[in-house]
Amino acid sequence: MPVLRIPTPLRAYTNGQAEVTVSGANISEALVDLTSQYPTIKPHLFNDDGGLRPFVNLFVGEHNIKDLQGVDTPIKDGEKIMIIPSIAGG
Amino acid sequence: MTLLDFRLTESKFLSLDGLPAHVGNTPLLPLRRLSPGLSPRTQIFAKAEWFNPGGSVKDRPALNIIQTAIRNGDLGNGKRLLDSTSGNMGISYATFGAALGIPVTLALPASASPERISILKALGAELILTDPLEGSDGAILKARELAAERPDLYWYANQYNNQANWQAHYLSTGPEILCQTNEQVTHFIAGLGTSGTLMGTGRYLREQLPNVKVLAFQPDAPFHGLEGLKHMPSAIKPGIYDESFAGDPLPVKTEAAHEMVLRLAREEGLFVGISSGAAAVAALQVASELEEGVVVTVFPDAGYKYLSDKALWEGK
């Protein structure tokens, strides 16, 4: 199963977990599973209309999904997907 | 006359000082078209900090930190300046480091924009890229670790705890705003990163104008897209930040700042970065509640370093 790597600002919503194993064949399905496991993370990642918030960057390997197929980007079993936070002050 | 006869120091027309002499004294620009609903007796102004030689507000603290360290004998002795950065402070350190012959080592998250990494490399800084999942706090911890391991090699500038950071704004940004508004500034609002801009400028303005309101803003949540700004409750708190100084920071949502960046570009001709968009959102919120007043904020940098950010310019 794919693994989502969680940045520190979002670990408050995953019971401190840095990695969450999810089911799904693409990014969209993986995120749906993440939010079903940890519902309080949902408003941080998704808009009210259900779309991924534009500033959220997900990387499959070296590649931002924005440069691939967006949330339809396929993912493989065991693949690690990073949710990258913005870089704070200074 | 040959070129060798040309005596530079006697020129009456050219400023021949080095880069440090050109830090500060940035324009204070009025925001006119963005705020049609405001009271006619309320104005908003922004300090255009991209006019600094290194391209951002960070020139002020970086230069003061370096000059103070040289005076104290901490730099200029062969040691490398070491610090963590989200980008702009590093660019300022690297700029003045190159100009003054001081080698610079920077810890920054590997997720820093390609523009920032390219600029830092061009300026000759040594980069230590840290885990992107740990964000800025991961870079801070890495810099602390390196400083503890090799005190013989590094002088740790520690911008989050260095008093010369906020003092730079006390000595320059504050006096400039007082002068440029003809002492009529009523509200000053700044975003929180290291908090140096808020603490230094705010302290100076309060001393000079006891009735001035000093306010802060920050991202509305721990996970945000306001690069350069800190959500203080969920981050390592800077030692120079006094939480009681400006009360509860106004929360700014990432999407609101992104939308404002586009409005600033298209309605005011101001091509600025994300934190400037956030500053405009916060300043407009403050100004909208006033019958009269002069609201001043700081636009930390221009938009060039964010061009690769598709969320910002294309909304995706």
B312: closest CA of chain A, how far (Å): 8
Residue B105 belongs to some domain of the structure: yes
Last residue of a domain, one of B110, B125, B156: B156
pLDDT of residue B102: 96
Structure tokens belonging to residue A73: 């980007």
Predicted complex ipTM? 0.93
Q: Tell me: the pLDDT tens digits for B207-226?
A: 999 999 999 999 999 999 99
This model's pTM is above 0.80: yes
3-state helix, strand, coil in chain B (%, to 5): 45, 20, 40
pLDDT of residue B34: 86
Of A12, A54, A70, the CB nearest to B222: A12
Nearest to B298 by CA among B92, B52, B96: B52
CB contact under 8 A, A54 and B224: no
Within this chain, do residues B83 and B19 fall inside the same structural domain, yes or no? no
Q: What SS3 class is residue B257?
A: helix
A-chain CB neighbours of B142 within 8 Å are none
Residue B1 belongs to some domain of the structure: no
Q: What SS3 class is residue B210?
A: coil
Q: Which of B31-40, B73-82, B101-110 is predicted with the least confidence, judged by mean pLDDT?
A: B31-40
Confidence of residue B309 (pLDDT cuts 50, 70, 90): confident
Within this chain, do residues B68 and B48 fall inside the same structural domain, yes or no? no
pLDDT of residue B8: 54
CA–CA–CA angle B205, B206, B210 (5° rounding): 120
Mean pLDDT of chain A: 93
Average pLDDT value for residue range B233-248? 95
Within this chain, do residues B145 and B97 fall inside the same structural domain, yes or no? yes
Which structural domain, as residue segments, surrounds residue B94?
59-156
pLDDT of residue B4: 56
Query: Distance (Å, rounded) from C-alpha A65 to C-alpha A73?
Result: 7
Residue B2 belongs to some domain of the structure: no
Within this chain, do residues B221 and B308 fall inside the same structural domain, yes or no? yes
Given a contact cutoff of 8 angstroms between Cβ atoms, the answer to whether B215 and B247 are in contact is: yes
> Which overall architecture, per CATH, does domain A3-84 show?
Roll (3.10)
Residue B16 has pLDDT above 80, yes or no: no
Percent of chain B with pLDDT over 90: 85
pLDDT of residue A4: 97
pLDDT of residue B18: 87
Within this chain, do residues B146 and B82 fall inside the same structural domain, yes or no? yes
Query: Distance (Å, rounded) from C-alpha B178 to C-alpha B118?
Result: 36
Within this chain, do residues B74 and B27 fall inside the same structural domain, yes or no? no
CA–CA–CA angle B252, B254, B257 (5° rounding): 75
CA–CA–CA angle B121, B125, B131 (5° rounding): 80
Q: What SS3 class is residue B227?
A: coil
Average pLDDT value for residue range B71-97? 96
Structure tokens belonging to residue A5: 């790597």
Structure tokens belonging to residue A53: 């918030």
Burial class of residue B1 in the structure, from the number of CB atoms within 10 Å of its CB (0-12 exposed, 13-18 middle, 19+ buried): exposed
Last residue of a domain, one of B156, B177, B192: B156
| Total domains, chain B | 2
B297: closest CA of chain A, how far (Å): 17
Is B58 annotated as catalytic? Answer: yes
pLDDT of residue B5: 60
Residue B161 has pLDDT above 80, yes or no: yes
| Helices and strands in chain A, H and E counts | 2, 5
Those residues whose C-beta lies under 8 Å from the C-beta of residue A40, and which sit 6 or more positions away, are A13
Q: What type of residue is B189?
A: I
Structure tokens belonging to residue B135: 């964000």
Confidence of residue B139 (pLDDT cuts 50, 70, 90): very high
Of A18, A54, A56, the CB nearest to B315: A54
Using CA atoms, how far residue B244 sits from A36, A89, B247, B274, in Å, is 39, 19, 5, 26
Is B275 annotated as catalytic? Answer: yes
Last residue of a domain, one of B100, B132, B156: B156
Within this chain, do residues B79 and B46 fall inside the same structural domain, yes or no? no
Those residues whose C-beta lies under 8 Å from the C-beta of residue B116, and which sit 6 or more positions away, are B87, B88, B90, B91, B108, B305
Residue B196 has pLDDT above 90, yes or no: yes
CATH number of the domain enclosing B85: 3.40.50.1100
Within this chain, do residues B73 and B45 fall inside the same structural domain, yes or no? no
Q: Tell me: the pLDDT tens digits for A28-42?
A: 999 999 999 999 999
